[in-house]
RNA sequence: GCUUGUGUGGCGGAAUUGGUAGACGCGCACGACUCAAAAUCGUGUGGCAUUAGCCGUGUGGGUUCGAUUCCCACCACGAGCACCA
């Protein structure tokens, strides 16, 4: 029908030459900062999923520019981290070169889609000019006591040979390769993210994230309210954390985690230490090998020779150790109330421990509300919250406990034993300890070496490069060694949106002026898979920068939307092994970028997954062919023949783009075209408006047609169409007649028809008459502009 | 198990937030053009009946003149977390 390749190339060159999409850092126009998650430039090339997200915000960006906004719509590359490194190892190239080649491919593929990115602000997280500032910001964390090194049991992936954060090893499985992760004790850098748990929850109030996103964040942070209670073991204190202090009268045993330090401390008093040591070993191997096993039969050993004293009842309580209590949460110890907790119940049943109900109920373990029994000061109460309060008051008064809030969120393990990451810019001096690399010496560059594969001994590959490791102490000038761990791949993505504001600044990570001008990201689109990790890290990082006065907003993103995945034609997630991958490049070649863009916007609800359909794509291509062809019906007239429909369409498309309802926006344009096709000929205004509204979706063909028929300035340099509020409603409408809520007739009537008139018309309708004849009219409901419903008996 | 999302034709999906269910597209059927096919164009298309009727938005109940929309219970599928005290 038309030669899409030529046209698309032509207009891409036009935009490039005219710098149509360059954002200005000082403009009187209203600003819009639109952001998509920057991609990993993997060897596989661009995915149709990228196309969906980029086209969606591109549509918005193009529309807003035409509405007179100064739009910042940038792109860059998140190129550090395991995927890039593994690709490089596999293909025997230096990661630096692999990344360079992949970026080139990605860039070409994005450019041929006609996405209106401001390429002037492009960078990669692997550019020394960029990671210099990532390192610089790490030093800010360090200077403020927010980064620390600690010997920690970390999640170790034996395949990737590196430590992982909790977020990266959810479920005991490596996020990257799927290997079983096990606990390994190692010195690691950590960021004190847990200090920000509450702020990260509170901050959500300052955002316009959807509830789905907010809930995702809140769940990950995992706040729980409860109390700490001190039990005595002789002179020692055993503090437990519980959310149900009101059930303390039902405690029949204590459980402490196998790694709990109290075991070591009291070992002289414990009479079955051999048995306990054996259990500790068992628990350790279990966590290594059988963690995901479904059989979660409770195991444990009673610690003999010591007893705890319930501080409220003064009763002696036996102490057990069991691996269903984790050292990493709360205090690593619990008071077990088998009558009202299913796990404690299971344990008590298995080991024949007493079960004392303290809240009335039929079945055990009973966890609902009820009347308190066997509970001394709480007896007779029926309200759980009141009982909890009363008990906490009692604990506080008697100095045996206190209210306590716990979070699941832990500190961020920030070390990786990999080559392809930002080196942590610290130097270890035998005299001075840890010393920062001075700002003038940043960035600490990665060396050019031949061997960057991970080692088996758990050290970073950098550790083997003597000439890199050995350095002098910036403080005392003596011999010292560099830190050889690198940062996780989440580091570079934790502040990249700030850099776009001022991408080539070599004096600061971003200037104050740029920060103040651009403020928050107005709209951030990305995938569900990043709601837990990336979004949390990025917000944490930004909140820290805010707290030390480096950025003007505590929350970095105002609005966050989630795109659904594009699945293969078979409805399965696209993957090489399934052979259901659709390559955007070949689609562009065969059908054109415009067709691909329109199709991906039309494919369905933006937030939901959708299966690829080549027939659906063809339908969109057909639509564009018809848009092209209808130019032949152009007459010399101005104005709109069907004013209502055109004005309605302008309104609908404008609103739908802002409300991420791209599918219905495209549908509205199809309806408009269908209407044009029913006309003898179409006016110049009609054609221009159709092309203009379609332009954000299909920017090439619409510019070409606009030029071909000399309809006006290029669309990208023209003002977005405005609708006439007085012309979006018809003078007539179809009045619906119902009897008992069922449609029995319809009639075209004038907009201003009165209620009385409507009722009269309803009763006169032949078909309605049939249904009300001989029946008693109970009442008549009349909705002006819509319907009349006659209720009969 | 907990959290969360989703259930509408053969398929992807619409539905002004309580008011004509199935817009738009795909697919399919028939027709036109063609020697023929593809492409294109036209007509039709929820099911059952076929004259105007009945049934239909996962299932069962409820509220209402009226429910895809609100309430209760249940079922199915997907995602995330998973012994978090």
DSSP assignment of A215-250 equals: HHHHHHH-EEEEEEEEEEETTEEEEEEES-GGGGGG
Question: If you average pLDDT over every residue of chain A, what do you get?
Answer: 90
Distance in Å from B11's C1' to A613's CA comes to 10
| CA dist., res. A205 & res. A269, Å (int) | 52
User: Strand B and chain A: which residues 564-593 have CB closer than 7 Å?
Assistant: none
Both tokens of A194, joined, read: 């847990």
| CA dist., res. A155 & res. A458, Å (int) | 12
Q: Which residues contact A268 (CB under 8 A, 6 or more apart)?
A: none
Both tokens of A35, joined, read: 């952001």
Confidence of residue A229 (pLDDT cuts 50, 70, 90): very high
Distance in Å from B41's C1' to A664's CA comes to 26
Is residue A156 a contact partner of residue A182, using CB atoms and an 8 Å limit?
Answer: yes
Per DSSP, helices labelled H in A352-455 are 384-397
Nucleic acid strand B within 7 Å of A773 CB: no
Residue predicted with more confidence, A87 or A753:
A753
Nucleic acid strand B within 7 Å of A296 CB: yes
For the ranges A183-192, A301-310, A610-619, the lowest mean pLDDT is seen at A183-192
Is residue A480 a contact partner of residue A473, using CB atoms and an 8 Å limit?
Answer: yes
Distance in Å from B11's C1' to A467's CA comes to 63
| CA dist., res. A788 & res. A642, Å (int) | 28
Distance in Å from B69's C1' to A36's CA comes to 33
Both tokens of A680, joined, read: 């003898």
pLDDT tens track for A34-46: 999 999 998 888 9
Is residue A132 a contact partner of residue A443, using CB atoms and an 8 Å limit?
Answer: yes
Q: Which residues contact A758 (CB under 8 A, 6 or more apart)?
A: A735, A749, A782, A784, A788
DSSP A60-117: HHHHHHHTT-EEE----B---SHHHHHHHHHHTS-HHHHHHHHHHHHHHHHHTTT---
Instruction: Using the structure block, give the residue that is written with the tokens 């889609």.
Output: A113
Nucleic acid strand B within 7 Å of A670 CB: yes
* SS3 (DSSP) at A616: helix
Is residue A563 a contact partner of residue A36, using CB atoms and an 8 Å limit?
Answer: no
What pLDDT score does A624 carry?
Answer: 97
A294 exposure class (CB count in 10 Å sphere: 0-12, 13-18, 19+): exposed
For the ranges A257-271, A318-332, A336-350, A773-787, the lowest mean pLDDT is seen at A773-787
What pLDDT score does A690 carry?
Answer: 97
A766 exposure class (CB count in 10 Å sphere: 0-12, 13-18, 19+): exposed
Both tokens of A444, joined, read: 């600490």
Residue A682: DSSP 8-state? B
- Taking the alpha carbons at both ends of chain A, their separation in whole angstroms is 61
User: Strand B and chain A: which residues 62-101 have CB closer than 7 Å?
Assistant: none
User: Strand B and chain A: which residues 734-753 have CB closer than 7 Å?
Assistant: 734, 736, 738, 740-744, 746
What pLDDT score does A292 carry?
Answer: 44
Distance in Å from B20's C1' to A610's CA comes to 30
What pLDDT score does A599 carry?
Answer: 96
Nucleotide nearest to A226 (CA to C1'): B85
| CA dist., res. A439 & res. A754, Å (int) | 78
For the ranges A359-373, A428-442, A631-645, A724-738, the lowest mean pLDDT is seen at A359-373
Nearest protein residue to nucleotide B11 (CA to C1' distance) is: A613
H/E stretch holding A774: none
Taking CA atoms, A73 is separated from A14, A344, A740, in Å, by 18, 54, 54
| CA dist., res. A498 & res. A512, Å (int) | 11
User: Strand B and chain A: which residues 705-724 have CB closer than 7 Å?
Assistant: none
Percent of chain A's residues with pLDDT above 70? 95
For the ranges A448-457, A606-615, A638-647, A675-684, the lowest mean pLDDT is seen at A448-457
Nucleic acid strand B within 7 Å of A242 CB: yes
Residue A167: DSSP 8-state? G
Confidence of residue A2 (pLDDT cuts 50, 70, 90): confident
What pLDDT score does A531 carry?
Answer: 81
Nucleotide nearest to A785 (CA to C1'): B19
Q: Which nucleotides in chain B lie closer than 7 A to a protein CB?
A: 3-6, 11-15, 19-21, 23-27, 39-42, 52-54, 65-67, 79-85
A101, pLDDT greater than 60: yes
Confidence of residue A278 (pLDDT cuts 50, 70, 90): very high
Nucleic acid strand B within 7 Å of A403 CB: no
- Segment A79-108 mean pLDDT: 86
A286, pLDDT greater than 70: no
| CA dist., res. A235 & res. A592, Å (int) | 78
H/E stretch holding A744: strand A742-750
Nucleotide nearest to A167 (CA to C1'): B81
Confidence of residue A296 (pLDDT cuts 50, 70, 90): low
- Segment A237-244 mean pLDDT: 95
Nucleotide nearest to A666 (CA to C1'): B24
What pLDDT score does A167 carry?
Answer: 65
Nucleotide nearest to A327 (CA to C1'): B84
A268 exposure class (CB count in 10 Å sphere: 0-12, 13-18, 19+): exposed
Distance in Å from B12's C1' to A585's CA comes to 23
Q: For residue A276, how many other CB atoms are within 10 A of its CB?
A: 19
Nucleic acid strand B within 7 Å of A282 CB: no
- Segment A313-341 mean pLDDT: 92
Instruction: Using the structure block, give the residue that is written with the tokens 């920062």.
Output: A436
Distance in Å from B35's C1' to A615's CA comes to 29
Both tokens of A400, joined, read: 């045996």
Nucleotide nearest to A166 (CA to C1'): B81
Nearest protein residue to nucleotide B4 (CA to C1' distance) is: A212
| CA dist., res. A553 & res. A498, Å (int) | 11
What pLDDT score does A149 carry?
Answer: 92
What pLDDT score does A510 carry?
Answer: 97
- Segment A176-180 mean pLDDT: 67
The two beta strands, A732-739 and A787-792, are parallel
**HSE toward the beta carbon, residue A335, CA cutoff 13 A:** 31
pLDDT tens track for A627-643: 999 999 999 999 999 99
A712, pLDDT greater than 90: yes
* SS3 (DSSP) at A47: coil
Nucleic acid strand B within 7 Å of A792 CB: no
Nucleic acid strand B within 7 Å of A175 CB: no
Is residue A404 a contact partner of residue A415, using CB atoms and an 8 Å limit?
Answer: no
| CA dist., res. A578 & res. A572, Å (int) | 8
Q: For residue A424, how many other CB atoms are within 10 A of its CB?
A: 27
Q: For residue A301, how many other CB atoms are within 10 A of its CB?
A: 19
Task: List phi, psi (to 5°) of A201.
Answer: -75, -50
pLDDT tens track for A464-496: 888 999 999 999 999 999 999 999 989 999 999
What pLDDT score does A291 carry?
Answer: 47
**Whose CA is closest to A137, among A421, A417, A497, A425?**
A425
DSSP tally for chain A: helices H, then strands E: 24, 25
Residue predicted with more confidence, A348 or A571:
A348
pLDDT tens track for A762-777: 888 888 888 888 788 8
| CA dist., res. A536 & res. A56, Å (int) | 24
Both tokens of A787, joined, read: 């319907």
């Amino acid at each position: 029908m038309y030669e899409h390749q030529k046209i698309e190339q032509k207009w891409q060159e036009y935009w490039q030459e005219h710098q149509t999409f360059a954002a200005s850092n000082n403009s009187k126009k209203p600003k819009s900062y639109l952001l998509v998650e920057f991609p990993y430039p993997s060897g596989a090339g661009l995915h149709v999923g990228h196309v969906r997200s980029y086209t969606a915000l591109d549509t918005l960006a193009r529309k807003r520019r035409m509405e007179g906004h100064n739009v910042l719509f940038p792109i860059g590359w998140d190129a550090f981290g395991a995927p890039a490194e593994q690709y490089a190892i596999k293909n025997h190239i230096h990661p630096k070169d692999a990344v360079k080649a992949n970026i080139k491919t990605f860039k070409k593929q994005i450019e041929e889609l006609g996405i209106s990115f401001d390429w002037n602000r492009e960078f990669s997280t692997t550019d020394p000019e960029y990671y210099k500032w990532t390192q610089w910001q790490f030093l800010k964390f360090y200077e403020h006591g927010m980064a620390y090194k600690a010997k920690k049991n970390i999640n170790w992936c034996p395949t990737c040979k590196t430590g992982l954060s909790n977020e990266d090893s959810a479920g005991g499985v490596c996020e990257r390769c799927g290997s079983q992760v096990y606990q390994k004790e190692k010195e690691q850098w950590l960021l004190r993210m847990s200090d920000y748990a509450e702020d990260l929850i509170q901050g959500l109030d300052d955002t316009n994230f959807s509830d789905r996103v907010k809930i995702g964040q809140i769940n990950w942070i995992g706040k729980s309210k409860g109390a700490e209670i001190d039990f005595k073991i002789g002179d020692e204190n055993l503090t437990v954390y519980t959310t149900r202090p009101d059930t303390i009268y039902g405690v029949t045993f204590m459980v402490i985690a196998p790694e709990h330090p109290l075991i070591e401390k009291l070992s002289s008093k414990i009479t079955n230490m051999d048995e306990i040591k054996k259990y500790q070993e068992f628990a350790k191997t279990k966590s290594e090998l059988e963690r995901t096993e479904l059989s979660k039969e409770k195991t444990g050993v009673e610690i003999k020779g010591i007893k705890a004293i319930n501080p409220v009842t003064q009763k002696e309580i036996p102490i057990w150790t069991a691996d269903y209590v984790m050292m990493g949460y709360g205090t690593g110890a619990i008071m077990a109330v088998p009558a009202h907790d299913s796990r404690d119940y299971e344990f008590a049943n298995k080991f024949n421990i007493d079960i004392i109900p303290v809240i009335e109920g039929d079945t055990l373990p009973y966890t609902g509300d009820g009347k308190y029994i066997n509970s001394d000061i709480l007896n007779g109460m029926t309200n759980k919250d009141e009982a909890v309060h009363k008990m906490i008051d009692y604990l506080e008064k008697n100095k045996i406990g206190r209210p306590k809030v716990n979070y699941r969120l832990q500190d961020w393990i920030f070390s990786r034993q990999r080559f392809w990451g930002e080196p942590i810019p610290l130097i270890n001096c035998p005299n001075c300890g840890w010393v920062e690399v001075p700002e003038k010496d940043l960035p600490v560059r990665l060396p050019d070496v031949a061997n960057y594969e991970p080692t088996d001994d758990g050290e970073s590959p950098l550790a083997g490069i003597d000439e890199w490791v050995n350095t002098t102490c910036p403080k005392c000038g003596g011999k010292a060694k560099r830190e050889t761990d690198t940062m996780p791949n989440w580091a570079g993505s934790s502040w990249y949106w700030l850099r776009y504001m001022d991408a080539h600044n070599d004096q600061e990570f971003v200037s104050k002026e740029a920060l103040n001008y651009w403020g928050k990201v107005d709209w951030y689109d990305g995938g569900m898979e990043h709601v837990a990790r990336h979004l949390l890290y990025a917000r944490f990082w930004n909140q820290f920068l805010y707290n030390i006065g480096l950025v003007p907003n505590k929350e970095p993103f105002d609005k966050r939307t989630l795109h659904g995945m594009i699945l293969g034609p078979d409805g399965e997630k696209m993957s090489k092994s399934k052979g259901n991958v659709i390559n955007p490049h070949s689609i562009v070649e065969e059908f054109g970028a415009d067709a691909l863009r329109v199709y991906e916007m039309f494919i369905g609800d933006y937030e939901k997954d959708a299966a690829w359909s080549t027939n659906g794509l063809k339908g969109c291509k057909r639509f564009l062919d018809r848009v092209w062809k209808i130019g032949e019906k152009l007459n010399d007239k101005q104005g709109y023949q069907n004013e209502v429909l055109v004005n309605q369409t302008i309104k609908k498309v404008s609103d739908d783009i802002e409300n991420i309802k791209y599918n219905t926006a495209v549908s509205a344009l199809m309806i408009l075209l269908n209407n044009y096709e029913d006309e003898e000929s179409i006016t110049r205004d009609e054609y221009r408006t159709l092309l203009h509204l379609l332009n954000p979706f299909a920017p090439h063909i619409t510019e070409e047609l606009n030029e071909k028929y000399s309809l006006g300035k290029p669309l990208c340099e023209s003002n977005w169409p405005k609708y006439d509020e007085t012309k979006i409603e018809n003078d007539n409408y179809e009045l619906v007649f119902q009897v008992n809520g069922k449609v029995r007739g319809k009639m075209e009537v004038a907009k201003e028809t009165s209620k009385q008139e409507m009722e009269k018309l309803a009763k006169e309708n032949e078909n309605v008459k049939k249904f009300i004849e001989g029946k008693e009219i109970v009442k008549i409901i009349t909705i002006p502009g819509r319907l009349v419903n006659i209720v009969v008996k």
